[in-house]
Amino acid sequence: MKNTFGTSVQMTIFGESHGRAIGAVLDGLAPGIEIDHEFIAGQLTKRRPAGKISTSRIEQDEFEILSGVHNGKTSGTPIMIVIPNKNLKSTDYTESPRLARPGHADLTANFKYHGFEDFRGGGHFSGRITAAVVAAGSIAALALKNKGITVGTHIKACAGIHDRSFADIKDDINTLNGMNFAVLDSEIAAAMVEKIELAASEGDSVGGILETAVYGFPAGVGEPFFDSVESELSHALFSIPAVKGVQFGDGFGMTIMRGSEANDEFEVRDGKIITKTNRNGGVNGGITNGMPIIFSTAIKPTPSIYKPQHTVDYEKRENAELRLKGRHDPAIIHRARVVQDSMTALVMCDLLCQRFGTDYLMPEK
Amino acid sequence: MKNTFGTSVQMTIFGESHGRAIGAVLDGLAPGIEIDHEFIAGQLTKRRPAGKISTSRIEQDEFEILSGVHNGKTSGTPIMIVIPNKNLKSTDYTESPRLARPGHADLTANFKYHGFEDFRGGGHFSGRITAAVVAAGSIAALALKNKGITVGTHIKACAGIHDRSFADIKDDINTLNGMNFAVLDSEIAAAMVEKIELAASEGDSVGGILETAVYGFPAGVGEPFFDSVESELSHALFSIPAVKGVQFGDGFGMTIMRGSEANDEFEVRDGKIITKTNRNGGVNGGITNGMPIIFSTAIKPTPSIYKPQHTVDYEKRENAELRLKGRHDPAIIHRARVVQDSMTALVMCDLLCQRFGTDYLMPEK
Amino acid sequence: MKNTFGTSVQMTIFGESHGRAIGAVLDGLAPGIEIDHEFIAGQLTKRRPAGKISTSRIEQDEFEILSGVHNGKTSGTPIMIVIPNKNLKSTDYTESPRLARPGHADLTANFKYHGFEDFRGGGHFSGRITAAVVAAGSIAALALKNKGITVGTHIKACAGIHDRSFADIKDDINTLNGMNFAVLDSEIAAAMVEKIELAASEGDSVGGILETAVYGFPAGVGEPFFDSVESELSHALFSIPAVKGVQFGDGFGMTIMRGSEANDEFEVRDGKIITKTNRNGGVNGGITNGMPIIFSTAIKPTPSIYKPQHTVDYEKRENAELRLKGRHDPAIIHRARVVQDSMTALVMCDLLCQRFGTDYLMPEK
Amino acid sequence: MKNTFGTSVQMTIFGESHGRAIGAVLDGLAPGIEIDHEFIAGQLTKRRPAGKISTSRIEQDEFEILSGVHNGKTSGTPIMIVIPNKNLKSTDYTESPRLARPGHADLTANFKYHGFEDFRGGGHFSGRITAAVVAAGSIAALALKNKGITVGTHIKACAGIHDRSFADIKDDINTLNGMNFAVLDSEIAAAMVEKIELAASEGDSVGGILETAVYGFPAGVGEPFFDSVESELSHALFSIPAVKGVQFGDGFGMTIMRGSEANDEFEVRDGKIITKTNRNGGVNGGITNGMPIIFSTAIKPTPSIYKPQHTVDYEKRENAELRLKGRHDPAIIHRARVVQDSMTALVMCDLLCQRFGTDYLMPEK
C265 pLDDT band, cuts 50/70/90, is: very high
- Which residues in chain A have Cβ-Cβ distances shorter than 8 Å to B257? 207, 300-301
Q: What's the burial of D216, exposed, middle or buried (CB within 10 Å: 0-12/13-18/19+)?
A: middle
Fold classification of C4-361 (topology level):
Chorismate synthase, AroC fold (3.60.150)
Q: Give the start-end residues of each E strand in A138-207.
A: 150-158, 161-162
Q: Give the pLDDT score at B20.
A: 97
Distance from the Cα of A14 to chain D's closest Cα (Å) equals 5
Question: For the segment C40-80, what is each residue's pLDDT rounded down to a tens digit?
Answer: 999 999 998 766 666 555 556 799 999 999 999 999 999 99
B59 pLDDT band, cuts 50/70/90, is: low
Do A255 and B220 lie within an 8 Å CB cutoff? no
Give the closest of C219, C275, C312 to D268, CB-based: C312
Do C27 and B20 lie within an 8 Å CB cutoff? no
Q: Give the pLDDT score at A144.
A: 98
Q: Which residue of chain B is at minimal alpha-carbon distance from A221?
A: B112
Question: For the segment D162-192, what is each residue's pLDDT rounded down to a tens digit?
Answer: 999 999 999 999 999 999 999 999 999 999 9
- Which residues in chain D have Cβ-Cβ distances shorter than 8 Å to A78? 2-3, 12-15, 124
**What does DSSP say about strands C161-162 and C4-5: parallel, antiparallel, or unpaired?**
unpaired
Beta-carbon contacts of residue A323 (< 8 Å; ≥ 6 apart): A306, A308
DSSP D201: H
pLDDT over 80 at D27, yes or no: yes
* Mean pLDDT score, A312-317: 95
Q: Give the pLDDT score at C23.
A: 98
Q: Give the pLDDT score at A327.
A: 80
When the pLDDT of each residue in chain D is averaged and rounded to a whole number, the result is 95
Q: Give the start-end residues of each E strand in chain D.
A: 4-5, 10-15, 21-27, 64-67, 69-70, 73-74, 79-84, 150-158, 161-162, 208-215, 243-248, 266-269, 272-275, 283-284, 287-288, 293-299, 309-313, 318-322
- b or e along A313-350 (b: 16 or more beta carbons within 10 Å of the residue's beta carbon)? bbeeeeebebebeeebbbbbbbbbbbbbbbbbbbbbbb
Task: Determine the Cα–Cα distance for residues B257 and B263; give it in Å rounded to an integer.
Answer: 10
Closest C-alpha to B281, from B169, B206, B124: B169
Cross-strand pairs, D65: D81
Look at residue D24 and give its three-state secondary structure.
strand
When the pLDDT of each residue in chain B is averaged and rounded to a whole number, the result is 95
Q: Give the pLDDT score at B58.
A: 56
Q: Give the start-end residues of each E strand in chain B.
A: 4-5, 10-15, 21-27, 64-67, 69-70, 73-74, 79-84, 150-158, 161-162, 208-215, 243-248, 266-269, 272-275, 283-284, 287-288, 293-299, 309-313, 318-322
B92 pLDDT band, cuts 50/70/90, is: low
Q: Give the pLDDT score at C272.
A: 96
Residue type, D46: K
A330 pLDDT band, cuts 50/70/90, is: very high
* Mean pLDDT score, C240-269: 98
* Mean pLDDT score, D109-118: 97
Q: Which residue of chain C is at minimal alpha-carbon distance from B124?
A: C77
Q: Give the pLDDT score at D327.
A: 80
For residues A156 and A247, the answer to whether their CB atoms sit within 8 Å is: no
pLDDT over 60 at B314, yes or no: yes
State phi, psi for C298 to the nearest 5 degrees: -90, 120
Q: Give the pLDDT score at D169.
A: 98
Task: Determine the Cα–Cα distance for residues B283 and B291; give it in Å rounded to an integer.
Answer: 8
Distance from the Cα of A219 to chain B's closest Cα (Å) equals 7
Question: Residue ranges of the alpha helices (H) in D147-224?
Answer: 169-177, 186-201
Beta-carbon contacts of residue C322 (< 8 Å; ≥ 6 apart): C99, C101, C102, C308, C309, C310, C311
Q: Give the start-end residues of each E strand in D28-139.
A: 64-67, 69-70, 73-74, 79-84
- Which residues in chain C have Cβ-Cβ distances shorter than 8 Å to D250? 244
pLDDT over 60 at B102, yes or no: yes
Question: For the segment C168-221, what is each residue's pLDDT rounded down to a tens digit?
Answer: 999 999 999 999 999 999 999 999 999 999 999 999 999 999 999 999 999 999
Q: Where are the domains of chain A?
A: 4-361
State phi, psi for D231 to the nearest 5 degrees: -65, -45
Look at residue C219 and give its three-state secondary structure.
coil
Question: For the segment A112-137, what is each residue's pLDDT rounded down to a tens digit?
Answer: 999 999 999 999 999 999 999 999 99
How far, in Å, are C99, C209, C282, C333, D75 from residue C153 at the CA level? 35, 10, 16, 11, 49
Task: Determine the Cα–Cα distance for residues B336 and D181; give it in Å rounded to an integer.
Answer: 64
Do A246 and B234 lie within an 8 Å CB cutoff? yes
Distance from the Cα of C78 to chain B's closest Cα (Å) equals 5
Do A236 and B236 lie within an 8 Å CB cutoff? no
State phi, psi for D243 to the nearest 5 degrees: -75, 120
Do D265 and C303 lie within an 8 Å CB cutoff? no
- Which residues in chain C have Cβ-Cβ distances shorter than 8 Å to A354? 8, 357-358
Identify the chains in contact with A, defined as 3+ C-beta pairs within 8 A. B, C, D
Question: For the segment D126-168, what is each residue's pLDDT rounded down to a tens digit?
Answer: 999 999 999 999 999 999 999 999 999 999 999 999 999 999 9
Beta-carbon contacts of residue B81 (< 8 Å; ≥ 6 apart): B23, B24, B25, B26, B63, B64, B65, B66, B132, B135, B136
pLDDT over 70 at B150, yes or no: yes
pLDDT over 60 at D309, yes or no: yes
State phi, psi for B116 to the nearest 5 degrees: -85, -10
Do C1 and B3 lie within an 8 Å CB cutoff? no
Q: Give the pLDDT score at C224.
A: 93
pLDDT over 90 at C87, yes or no: no
Q: Give the pLDDT score at B88.
A: 64
B326 pLDDT band, cuts 50/70/90, is: confident
Task: Tell me which of D221, D223, D354, D361 to substitute to probe the interface with B (most B C-beta atoms closer than 10 Å).
Answer: D354
Question: For the segment B190-241, what is each residue's pLDDT rounded down to a tens digit?
Answer: 999 999 999 999 999 999 999 999 999 999 999 999 999 999 999 999 999 9
Q: What is the gyration radius of the CA atoms in chain C, in angstroms?
A: 21
**pTM, two decimal places:** 0.97
Beta-carbon contacts of residue A18 (< 8 Å; ≥ 6 apart): A85, A88, A90, A93, A118, A120, A121, A123
How far, in Å, are A12, A70, B227, C149, D113 from residue A31 at the CA level? 19, 10, 28, 27, 6
Identify the chains in contact with C, defined as 3+ C-beta pairs within 8 A. A, B, D
A266 pLDDT band, cuts 50/70/90, is: very high
Question: For the segment C121-138, what is each residue's pLDDT rounded down to a tens digit?
Answer: 999 999 999 999 999 999
Return the biggest CA–CA distance within chain C.
Answer: 69
Do B267 and A319 lie within an 8 Å CB cutoff? yes
Give the closest of B7, B224, B355 to D357, CB-based: B355
Task: Determine the Cα–Cα distance for residues A207 and A196; give it in Å rounded to an integer.
Answer: 9
Residue D321: Cβ within 10 Å count:
9
Do D355 and B358 lie within an 8 Å CB cutoff? yes
Question: For the segment C277-330, what is each residue's pLDDT rounded down to a tens digit?
Answer: 999 999 999 999 999 999 999 999 999 999 999 999 999 999 999 999 888 899
Task: Determine the Cα–Cα distance for residues D87 and B158; give it in Å rounded to an integer.
Answer: 69
Beta-carbon contacts of residue B155 (< 8 Å; ≥ 6 apart): B163, B181, B182, B183, B189, B192, B208, B209, B210, B333, B334, B337
Return the biggest CA–CA distance within chain D.
Answer: 69
Q: What's the burial of C97, exposed, middle or buried (CB within 10 Å: 0-12/13-18/19+)?
A: exposed
D63 half-sphere exposure, CB direction, 13 A CA radius: 31
